[in-house]
Amino acid sequence: GGAGLIKACVEQALVPCIQTGTGICHIYVDKDADLSMALRIVENAKMSRPSVCNAAEVCLVHRDVAKNFLPMLQKILCDPSREHPAKLLLDKEALSIIDGTPADENDFDTEFLDYILAVHVVSDVNEAISHIASHSTHHSESIITQNEQTEASLVLAVKWEFQHRSCTRAVQWGFVS
């Protein structure tokens, strides 16, 4: 459930309980990703069950593939014939590629629990890592790439973060090659 349900359970519980927190979950589409596979993954991660804590809330797209990927993403997620078309909240660069609703900075720190996806175009994997470190709740993050160096960079970033942060739960990184 969302933050309200978690809070109510913790406050009303008569026995000790474990709380999972919120999930501002990211998917990073790397420049070396198979874009048709990436599209299916993002669609599933956002549209299959948008109200769960591990649903995608933010899609980061490498600048080198944004012009190809974002129109495909918009076409499939925002199709008016869908029972629930998605709303895309787009950063300035994404807005220069496709039409949509401008995102504000708070949109990248929001667990929507709805058919809403914030989209941010990044210049490289380091910017993606920085964005995730700043905006994620460290619930579940995914990278879509076919580049082993990109995978290795993200694994090292996660290891560094755990060594320098007090965390009580694990980050799940999904690597799709």
Full strand arrangement of the beta sheet holding 25-29: 101-102, 87-90, 116-122, 56-62, 25-29, 140-144, 172-176
Summarize pLDDT for 110-169 with one digit per residue, the tens.
999 999 999 999 999 889 988 988 888 777 778 888 887 776 666 666 555 555 443 333
Summarize pLDDT for 155-168 with one digit per residue, the tens.
666 555 555 443 33
The whole-model pTM stands at 0.79
Distances (CA, A) of 111 to 40, 43, 94, 121, 166: 21, 17, 20, 19, 22
In this prediction, residue 159 carries a pLDDT of: 59
Summarize pLDDT for 51-93 with one digit per residue, the tens.
888 899 999 999 999 999 999 999 999 999 999 999 999 999 9
- Cα maximum dimension of the chain: 53
In this prediction, residue 154 carries a pLDDT of: 66
